[in-house]
């Protein structure tokens, strides 16, 4: 049967584990498909098995994916392979549907309601961000209580982050909490101020120019903040200065509470301008809104549930965020209601309700889900509703717990680790052969990810013989300021190009934990123009999942808030922390980055500030230390192994 069903399905025959997965007769089968193990081929084999052995009509098989591109790839490969293998006509093949979850929700709602629901234009994240900013500005101008929450967020709660300096909404760095409170109050009230302005009469005290905490030019008023322990004699000296020169000055103690009582003043339209801090807050609120939507939590439910307690911030910070988000969420829901529109998550929730009510009768006997580790609660509940209505249905779930990195979008490690809790008895089959990279990289990445005991234990092997596939390069402190990322990468790319004497395009992928750490589009265009034989792309690690390249360069593996692992403290954790292993999610992020490479990975970090992941890897990998000579020599010393591997790759392919 194996040869008859799968012989000419794909270019390469299925592995033993792929075959076992494709022919599973369990009600629920979980296929653990590690990086490069051929998950799409496994999905294709499963569909062929159901069609040929179970004699299923293709309309009874539903394939689900999260991204449109992934769904389209499965659709195209099924049509090509089944047509070639079994001579199925195009009319029959068109009955098979590979859908996204959004497409499935749309289909179910349309079938029940008899018409296509009107999708909101706010499904575009950019449009939703603009909408939220507009609502934020309206609330900031018109709602006293909302302004108080903004003030509370920036002036008190955020400063509990000990690693943050006291930075105002106007991007000034102040010395104490009282100055921070007043500066933020002035900003929100639209009152122009100058921080630490020189006193106009040019007065000196103890050899230093006298400067007050703030100067308000519109009212020609100085404001000074006094330490509690400042003697009465010194206080009188300060007052005497202003009396002598006829200037107006208000004096306050460092425990000032004044600003809390001054929010009755209306705000001008342009007060909440495009400050970096406000943009960061809005980005956070947008992420929270999308997260709650993925959990099926509406604004009414959000208002009724208590804010979760953070181990670091207690309830203060989460409560502030909820109070800032709730009016925005309510405005969003009102917009959908008035316009008669629906968003994707709302459509999935409505489709689930129709199935539970029996308004939609499930027509499928088998459901296949790709990238199951990315599933969110409302999608999981949709599949549960389908399973409960049609108990005989078979579920074929393909995913990799090692690549669960979308918690911010609602996925949880527990959904794939505790699969039987959600879907009953499950056969778990781990694919054990990767077709992407060398055994060396396979071993290093597998050991790295499995240090977290909550990950499934898997043993992967590679077709390619062991190679030195991962290079650590630390940039010495004396060069880190002289050799920023773009110059370092430019030199590496140039050296790669110098070795690329081949007709074959060699791909290079630049990855970073955060988008702002990536080279600019202009720089990428320059490199691509200079080195036309290379295909160079740059993206965040999260965006790279599912992609591959010959060579991967991972930037900024440094310690700190924007390093890898990111030590950024999340102020709101809607889900109780389910993972206790340190940096569990960030470890998976680096695993995803490393396993994009087919030949070699190049990890960059500052020598004087390596992350804990770098230190861990240093115990296994010989360090490539950048030298202190000229730029070209220093970089070549650091990437010697990378370039030697590139040369072997190119000349081996030429032969």
Q: For residue 369, give the nearest of 396, 400, 340, 346 by alpha carbon.
A: 396
Q: What is the dihedral of CA 517, 518, 522, 524, to 10 degrees?
A: 150
Helix (H) or strand (E) holding 594: helix 584-594
**What's the confidence (pLDDT) of residue 152?**
73
Q: Which two tokens stand for residue 290?
A: 């999308």
**561, two tokens:** 């808030």
What are φ and ψ of residue 450, in 5° steps?
Answer: -85, 5
DSSP assignments along 206-244, one per residue: TTEE-B-SEEETTTTEEEEEE-TT--HHHHHHHHHHHHH
pLDDT bin (cut points 50, 70, 90) of residue 171 is low
pLDDT band of residue 451 (cuts 50, 70, 90) is: very high
- pLDDT, tens only, 348-368: 999 999 999 999 999 999 999
What region, left, alpha or beta, does residue 246 occupy, with left being phi > 0 and alpha being psi -120 to 50 degrees? left
Is 36 within any annotated ligand binding site? yes
Coil, strand, or helix at residue 24?
A: coil
Q: What is the mean pLDDT of residues 618-632?
A: 53
Helix (H) or strand (E) holding 60: none
424 is in an annotated binding site: no
Instruction: Determine what percent of the chain is predicted with pLDDT higher than 90.
Output: 36
Q: Distance (Å, rounded) from C-alpha 655 to C-alpha 650?
A: 9
The predicted-structure confidence for 261-304, as pLDDT tens digits, reads as follows 444 333 333 334 435 667 778 888 998 899 899 999 998 888 88
The end-to-end CA distance of the chain, in Å, is 38
- For residue 258, the Cα-to-chain-centroid distance in whole angstroms is 40
Please, what's the b/e burial string for 172-206 (b: 16 or more CB within 10 A of its CB; e: otherwise)? bebeebbbbbbbbbbbbbbbebebeeebeeeeeee
**What does the chain come to in residues?**
655
The structural domains of the chain, ordered by start, are 2-117+345-431 (3.40.50.300), 125-336 (no CATH), 466-654 (3.40.50.300)
pLDDT exceeds cutoff 70 at 483: no
Mean pLDDT within 47-52:
89
Query: Is residue 382 over pLDDT 80?
Result: yes
Diameter of the chain measured on Cα atoms: 102
Average pLDDT over residues 522-533: 81
Mean pLDDT of 227-235: 70
87 is in an annotated binding site: no
**β-bridge mates for residue 28, sequence order:** 395
The answer, yes or no, to whether residue 640 has pLDDT greater than 50, is no
Q: Does the annotation list 33 as a binding residue? A: yes
Q: How far is CA 259 from CA 152, 155, 277, in A?
A: 10, 10, 19
How many angstroms separate the CA atoms of 28 and 566, rounded? 36
The answer to whether the peptide bond before residue 203 is cis (omega within 30 degrees of 0) is no
Q: Flag whether 399 is marked binding.
A: no
- Residue 38, marked binder: yes
Exposure on the CB side of residue 291, measured as CA atoms within 13 A = 19
Mean pLDDT computed over 211-223? 81
The annotation status of 45 as a binding-site residue, yes or no, is no
Rounded Cα gap, residues 66 and 62, in angstroms: 13
Most confident of 86-90, 122-126, 561-565: 122-126
What's the pLDDT at 358? 95
At residue 579, the pLDDT reads 78
Token couple for 124: 């575009």
Check residue 273 and give its pLDDT.
45
Q: Which residues are CB-neighbours of 592 under 8 A, at least 6 positions away?
A: 35, 403, 405, 541, 542, 544, 545
pLDDT of residue 165: 54
Please say whether the beta carbons of 596 and 469 come within 8 A.
no
DSSP label of 310:
B
pLDDT tops 50 at residue 568: yes
Does the annotation flag 34 for ligand binding?
A: yes
Q: What whole-number distance in Å separates Cα of residue 126 and Cα of residue 581?
A: 35
Most confident of 178-182, 316-320, 595-599: 595-599
Please give the pLDDT value at position 528.
82
Give the position of tokens 């052969």.
433
Predicted confidence (pLDDT) at residue 110 exceeds the cutoff of 90: yes
| CB contact at 8 A, 78 and 47 | yes
DSSP code string of 328-366:
HHHHHHHHHHHHT-B-HHHHHHHHHHHHHHTSS----SE
Report the SS3 class of residue 165: coil
Contact assessment for residue 455 and residue 55, using Cβ atoms and an 8 Å cutoff: no
Structure tokens at 170: 């106007």
pLDDT of amino acid 409: 82
């Amino acid at each position: 049967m194996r040869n008859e069903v799968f012989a000419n399905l794909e270019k390469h025959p299925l592995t033993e584990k792929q075959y076992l997965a494709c022919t599973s007769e369990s009600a629920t089968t979980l296929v653990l498909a590690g990086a490069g193990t051929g998950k799409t081929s496994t999905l294709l084999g499963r569909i062929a098995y159901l069609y040929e052995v179970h004699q299923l009509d293709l309309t009874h098989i539903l394939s689900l994916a999260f991204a449109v591109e992934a769904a389209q790839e499965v659709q195209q490969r099924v049509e090509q392979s089944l047509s070639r293998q079994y001579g199925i006509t195009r009319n029959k093949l068109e009955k098979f549907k590979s859908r996204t979850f959004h497409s499935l929700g749309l289909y179910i709602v349309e079938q029940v309601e008899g018409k296509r629901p009107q999708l909101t234009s706010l499904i575009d994240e950019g449009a939703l961000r603009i909408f939220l900013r507009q609502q934020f500005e309206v609330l900031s101008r018109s709602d006293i209580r909302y302004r108080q929450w903004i003030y509370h967020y920036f002036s008190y709660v955020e400063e509990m982050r000990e690693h943050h300096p006291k930075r105002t909404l106007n991007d000034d760095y102040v010395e104490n909490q009282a100055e921070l409170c007043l500066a933020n109050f002035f900003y929100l009230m639209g009152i122009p101020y100058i921080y630490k302005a020189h006193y106009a009469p040019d007065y000196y005290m103890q050899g230093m120019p006298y400067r007050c905490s703030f100067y308000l030019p519109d009212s020609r008023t100085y404001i000074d903040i006094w330490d509690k322990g400042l003697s009465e004699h010194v206080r009188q000296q300060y007052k005497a200065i202003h009396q002598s020169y006829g200037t107006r000055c208000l004096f306050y103690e460092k425990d000032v509470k004044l600003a809390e009582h001054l929010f009755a003043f209306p705000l001008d339209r342009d007060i909440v301008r495009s400050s970096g801090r406000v943009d960061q807050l809005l980005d956070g609120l947008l992420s929270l809104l999308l997260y709650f939507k993925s959990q099926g939590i509406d604004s009414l439910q959000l208002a009724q549930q208590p804010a979760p307690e953070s181990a670091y911030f207690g309830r203060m910070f989460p409560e502030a965020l909820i109070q800032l988000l709730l009016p925005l969420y309510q405005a969003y829901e009102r917009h959908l209601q008035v316009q008669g529109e629906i968003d994707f998550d709302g459509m999935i929730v409505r489709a689930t309700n129709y199935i539970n009510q029996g308004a939609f009768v499930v027509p499928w006997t088998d459901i296949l889900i790709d990238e199951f580790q990315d599933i969110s609660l409302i999608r999981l509940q949709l599949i549960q509703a389908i399973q409960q209505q049609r108990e005989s249905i078979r579920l074929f779930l393909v995913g990799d717990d090692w690549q669960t990195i979308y918690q911010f979008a609602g996925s949880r490690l527990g959904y794939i680790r505790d699969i039987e809790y959600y879907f009953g008895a499950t056969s778990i089959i781990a694919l054990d052969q990767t077709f992407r990279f060398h055994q060396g990289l396979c071993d290093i990445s597998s050991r790295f990810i499995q240090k977290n005991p909550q990950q499934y234990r898997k043993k992967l092997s590679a077709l390619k013989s062991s190679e030195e596939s991962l290079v650590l390069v630390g940039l010495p402190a004396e060069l880190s300021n002289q050799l920023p990322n773009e110059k370092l990468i430019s030199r590496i790319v140039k050296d790669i190009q110098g070795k690329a004497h081949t007709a074959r395009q060699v791909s290079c992928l630049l990855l970073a934990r955060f988008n702002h750490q990536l080279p600019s589009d202009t720089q990428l265009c320059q490199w691509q123009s200079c080195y036309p034989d290379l295909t160079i792309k740059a993206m965040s690690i999260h965006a790279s999942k599912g992609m591959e390249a010959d060579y991967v360069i991972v930037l900024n593996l440094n310690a700190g808030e924007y390093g890898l692992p990111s030590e950024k403290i999340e102020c709101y954790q809607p889900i109780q922390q389910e993972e206790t292993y340190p940096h569990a999610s960030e470890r998976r992020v680096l695993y995803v980055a490393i396993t994009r490479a087919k030949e070699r990975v190049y990890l960059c970090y500052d020598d004087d500030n390596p992350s804990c992941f770098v230190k861990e890897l240093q115990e296994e990998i010989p360090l490539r230390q950048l030298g202190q000579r000229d730029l070209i020599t220093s970089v070549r010393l650091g990437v010697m192994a990378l370039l030697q591997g590139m040369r072997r790759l190119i000349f081996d392919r030429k032969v």
